[in-house]
Chain A
Amino acid sequence: MAPPAQSQRSPSPSQPSGKSEVSDLKLQLRQLAGSRAPGVDDSKRELFKKVISYMTIGIDVSSLFGEMVMCSATSDIVLKKMCYLYVGNYAKVNPDLALLTINFLQRDCRDEDPMIRGLALRSLCSLRVANLVEYLVGPLGSGLKDSNSYVRMVAVMGVLKLYHISASTCIDADFPSILKHLMLHDSDTQVVANCLSALQEIWSAEASTSEEASREREALISKPFIYYLLNRIKEFCEWAQCLVLELVTKYVPSDSSEIFDIMNLLEDRLQHANGAVVLATIRVFLQLTLSMTDVHQQVYERIKAPLLTLVSSGSPEQSYAVLSHLHLLVMRAPYVFSSDYKHFYCQYNEPSYVKRLKLEMLTAVANESNTYEIVTELCEYAANVDIPIARESIRAVGKIALQQYDVNAIVDRLLQFLEMEKDYVTAEALVLVKDLLRKYPQWSHDCIAVVGNISSKNVQEPKAKAALIWMLGEYSQDMQDAPYVLESLVENWDEEHSAEVRLHLLTAMMKCFFKRPPETQSALGAALAAGIADFHQDVHDRALFYYRILRYNVSVAERVVNPPKQAVSVFADTQSSEIKDRIFDEFNSLSVLYQKPSYMFTDKEHRGPLEFADELGNLSIGEAANNVVPTQMVEENDKDLLLTTSEKEETKGSRNNGSAYSVPYDGSSTSVFASQTQIESAVSNPTLAGHSPQASFAIDDLLGLGIPAAPAVLSPPQLKLNTKAALDPSTFQQKWRQLPVALSQEISVSPQGVAALTAPQALLRHMQSHSIHCIASGGQSPNFKFFFFAQKFEESSNYLVECVINTSSAKAQVKIKADDQNTSQDFSTLFESALSKFGTS
């Protein structure tokens, strides 16, 4: 445990400043240390308590280390425990002092009271000081063999802790195989459960390098072992049951009778009081029956009741966690839940995150028989005080309408919304009416009558305004004053801030022009003039395009702008079914709550570099002249990084438009127009859009910043690199996942290099001059991490590099992946020589 950071608390006058109190305590402790007077333990206890509370509120009491250790030479378990706490807190920052405690901790590990043995062992393993690991092996070894289950339980976790401090020590001492033995033979289920957690972690980490470990990991999901656990499942505590069930989901039964056996065995777990156990069981059921369609349906029916119970019991947070899972299932099989729609009605006081999920579920389960009730209920929410929820519910009504049930009544309702005269209701309803008209053009007459009455002045939101303008353009022949409304909008061109609205206005003017030319002509001219003068690239381009096409041939223009339209039957789904399946595979985890597969938010290769990139963006703005970055500043930047992550999400949408054009150059250099380049790269790279949009934008920025005109550089003869190599981030990520590591090595960095590496940028510029480009970088002294790529000259063969530089040891850990494995050695030489020149030029 690290000491609480001091900076978090502002010293308030009521809090003790610390200094005098600490020296006071020191004195008192010293007096008591040698004393054997009766009752001395009680006064020690009081003092210890004081020390611990000072420690907790952030006063540094590490200077008492010696006294504390002296005082703890006692048999009083209360004192001992507090002393362990204290030692655990300060050992990490004072490794030398920690050495002092080793002795008495080791002695306590041999105490006759099993509780003291366990506690001492836990404290010993929690010191987390790397140079003390040698003292851990002995006590851990005997702890694992202890006759008392409490000690064994602690020892097993101790092994895992040791592994995280020093993996090699743990492996060398052969602890994993001892754990394996315990796991299979120990009578205590908590010991077994801890072994399982520890071994899963150790073997997963080792699997990439050791064949044996990956074999062992496979053995965990072998039939005998899974059966061994399943047969004992009732003896495990509730948390361990979750662990076991988690493992069972990975097991692949050989035939259907085995599947039924497992399900019968686990059936009663669905009645467990702990919601986590129920969810884990549900996951097992769903996974097992994935290939058996009819049974899978029965499983849905079976798990419905327990899930609904879990949703309605417990705190809002718990029910949210369950509701997210229910949401996933409802989305997969809405028909199973269509009769339970009343469970998804929102209560007035529910938090909005719960309401939002419920609204989506209500939308999903709507069918012929329940649409009326559901829509009636949703309309109640439209008057909700919680405006985002009110908006969501209007959208939900629209979605149901688009699903084709009882459209007639729903259209009436939507039109009522328009008459409610609340800005946000009108805005949402307008967008919906637009979508409805795209699908059911036959409703246009009813809708237009109402829409025509809405004054465009009351509509402020860009989306709604755009929808209104679209309708004005599309149905200008039916709306008496459409040309004049549009004209007044054109007159206020400069006050319109949203590019989206201006784009729609241009198109609507064109449509209107073809339907009612005499009334529109002058306004169209004004609109085109304003559009061509517009500073926004898209608006400018479109206006210019319309202008030119009109000059070229008016009838062609009409065909382009006003083609006969077919009703839209299916609106594009926002999430691919592949992603949905991935999420389903990760049932009962965060993926379901975030509604994205785990690799999108946990993979370092996915997420890590991106954040670094973002940080880099911040850094390079203000610090061009600032070569030496003091550590403190780096820390602040670190906080900036945290700040930007959420901002980034908010601005995601708007950056979407802008960044497409901010890329200075992209892969294909043949095309002349920026927009064409964009289209081509999007075509050649279809994953870009759906994959992880926010990701690529961050890096686009980076590319924009990070590539100054690269000077032509002499490349070593054996391998020529393309000086203008380009690779977009998502391709990089994809390749990085797919390719095997071709080479992995450690390179020394020259002292000059270390000195020059005060910030990641320095190295970026250097490597760039060697035609090795950086795609993401980050970190702070002493550890920096970089992702580089390079392209072979006149070929599209790529090299991808992960480089971790530790400046204190002056070493760089380099992993190279290459399209063309044969040349990876050459590239490595090149990379090494480039890196070695860093700081000398």
Chain B
Amino acid sequence: MPVAASAIYFLNLRGDVLINRLYRDDVGGNMVDAFRMHIMQTKELGTCPVRQIGGCSFFYMRISNVYVVIVVSSNANVACAFKFVVEAVSMFKSYFGGAFDEDAIRNNFVLIYELLDEIMDFGYPQNLSPEILKLYITQEGVRSPFSSKASDKPIPNATLQVTGAVGWRREGLVYKKNEVFLDIVESVNLLMSSKGSVLRCDVTGKILMKCFLSGMPDLKLGLNDKIGLEKESQMKSRPAKSGKTIELDDVTFHQCVNLTRFNSEKTVSFVPPDGEFELMKYRITEGVNLPFRVLPTIKELGRTRMEVNVKVKSVFGAKMFALGVVVKIPVPKQTAKTSFQVTSGRAKYNAAIDCLVWKIRKFPGQTEPTLSAEVELISTMAEKKSWTKPPIQMEFQVPMFTASGLRVRFLKVWEKRGYNTVEWVRYITKAGSYEIRS
């Protein structure tokens, strides 16, 4: 059996139960005490998200200031359980208006009970699709923007439509203006050695869509990925157009995508759910365009002084710019005084995280600002040795840029009524874990 959860608990950071649902009688009500005693109040917390105590297994996740705990008494499917929690939380978020924390839970007890009863019955996950749940939930949480567009009140006989071949979409949707928004969001993960060689680099991307379309539209998406293009040129028996093609290492799709057609024709075709959803996820390891290069030189001048020089080079087009660039340069704990010189942005010393934090709000392409800092240390014999030089970390967002080079070639909407649609496509690249060892 995939999950057969016995109970689900929501605890705050002190370990108080905010709300819970016991699905089965096979665990005692005091099992949550065991969780509190053996995990929350010990060093165990955070050492492993799955723990067994007294015959029950606990799967727990921390989301903002709430612990979500699933208790099972059998040999359950962990991946399924965690996925369930993640899905459930994102659904709660959409009902609470974006936030999932202690306060949101306290304000929405009835709604949470309702949802928990619908998404899981006797420990088995049921339907979590927000479109369908909307029909059963009577409480008004703070609704997410997309669901407020359709009719707010459930149609009395809506249950009939719950489970057709297209379980994720309701029939009879009507929009005055038919619009599709498509976002390609990529995050770049980088691990660079102190000598400047790339140890590991990959891009995980997702395509997010927001559809406000009438009826039952059929969508078709074309990307400049290698397999898709080759297949296409093969089928049209003409050579592939020149230009950059992208090799995707692995792709996963939302359940609405017709996978049979993807495998035979290599096109992404689907009947989208109404509103917001994640169409696909992909991963790329070859040919990644790194948006930034970081060149650090950190010199230790004697026991009490350090000289830090960091140059950050933006290697994307000169017309583009990055937003919210933050460079965190770790310094030893016993840092006493710092002084900076930067050619762009602002820098300061943050003692809470033992880092020099350099922020540049708007960072144009093809530029290379520098930071030079002098750090004075309190001289202590013992701690000097234990400074382990954590890596320099970077945060950024680069709009209209994809590290993978992926582009949308076309997005076609077909519906039997033949209305016109407006399509919006955006690209953005963010830093995932962007680490440079110094």
Footprint of B on A, CB under 8 Å? 1-2, 4-5, 8-9, 48-49, 52-53, 56, 77-78, 81-82, 85, 113-115, 118, 122, 128, 148-150, 153-154, 157, 160-161, 164, 188-190, 194, 197, 200-201, 234-235, 237-239, 242-243, 246, 267-269, 271-276, 278-280, 305-306, 308-309, 312-318, 320-322, 324-325, 342-343, 345, 347-349, 351-353, 377, 380, 383-385, 421-422, 586, 588-594, 598, 601-602, 607-608, 611, 635, 638-639, 641-643, 645-646
Contact = CB atoms under 8 A, between A and B. Distances in A.
A785 to B, nearest CB: 13
B37 A639 contact: yes
B352 interface: no
B151 interface: no
B199 interface: yes
A243 B34 contact: no
Q: Which DSSP category, helix, strand, loop or mixed, fits chain B's interface?
A: mixed
B238 interface: no
**Which 10 A-B pairs rank lowest in CB-CB distance, beginning with the nearest?**
A268-B259, A276-B80, A239-B125, A305-B250, A598-B75, A317-B49, A309-B250, A242-B2, A78-B138, A642-B34
A351 B38 contact: no
Contacts of B386: 422
Nearest to B107: A53
Nearest to B44: A646
Contacts of A635: 30
A271 B251 contact: yes
Given A268-B262, A313-B281, A589-B78, A246 B86 contact: no
Contacts of A234: 259
A348 B394 CA distance: 13
Interface in B317-368: none
Contact of A273 (B77, B113, B281): B281
Contacts of B263: 267-268
Interface in B54-87: 54-55, 57, 59-61, 72-80, 82-84, 86
Contacts of B129: 237
Interface in B249-304: 249-255, 259-260, 262-263, 278, 280-283
A321 B86 contact: no
A639 B30 contact: yes
Contacts of A313: 204, 281, 283
A238 B48 CA distance: 26
A343 B114 contact: no
A157 B19 contact: no
Interface string B157-183: 101101101010000000000000000
B127 A237 contact: yes
B17 interface: yes
Which residue among A239, A280, A345 has the maximum number of chain B CB atoms within 10 Å of its CB? A239
Nearest to B28: A638
B121 interface: yes
Contact of A347 (B77, B385, B433): B433
Contacts of B262: 268, 271
Nearest to B15: A8
Given A235-B165, A589-B78, A315 B2 contact: no
A616 B59 CA distance: 29
A642 B435 contact: no
B148 interface: no
Given A190-B163, A314-B86, 13 more contacts: A2-B25, A53-B109, A56-B18, A85-B114, A122-B121, A234-B259, A273-B278, A422-B385, A590-B72, A590-B76, A591-B75, A639-B30, A646-B44
Contacts of B61: 315, 317
Interface in B1-15: 1-4
A82 B283 CA distance: 45
Nearest to B72: A590
A56 B16 CA distance: 12
A246 B388 contact: no
Contacts of A235: 165, 167
B163 A149 contact: yes
B145 interface: no
B274 to A, nearest CB: 17
B29 A190 contact: no
Nearest to B105: A56
A235 B139 CA distance: 29
Contacts of A49: 109-110
A242 B77 contact: yes
Contacts of B57: 590, 601
B57 to A, nearest CB: 6
Contacts of A639: 30, 33-34, 37
A53 B19 CA distance: 9
A274 B202 CA distance: 21
A122 B262 CA distance: 40
Contacts of A48: 110
A316 B262 CA distance: 30
B50 A78 contact: no
A315 B162 CA distance: 30
A711 to B, nearest CB: 36
Contacts of A153: 126
A563 B313 CA distance: 64
Interface in B204-231: 204
B240 interface: no
Interface string B363-401: 000000000000000000000011011110100000000
B79 A279 contact: yes
A611 B55 contact: yes
B242 interface: no
B310 interface: no
B30 A161 contact: no
A646 to B, nearest CB: 5
A306 B250 contact: yes
B122 A157 contact: yes
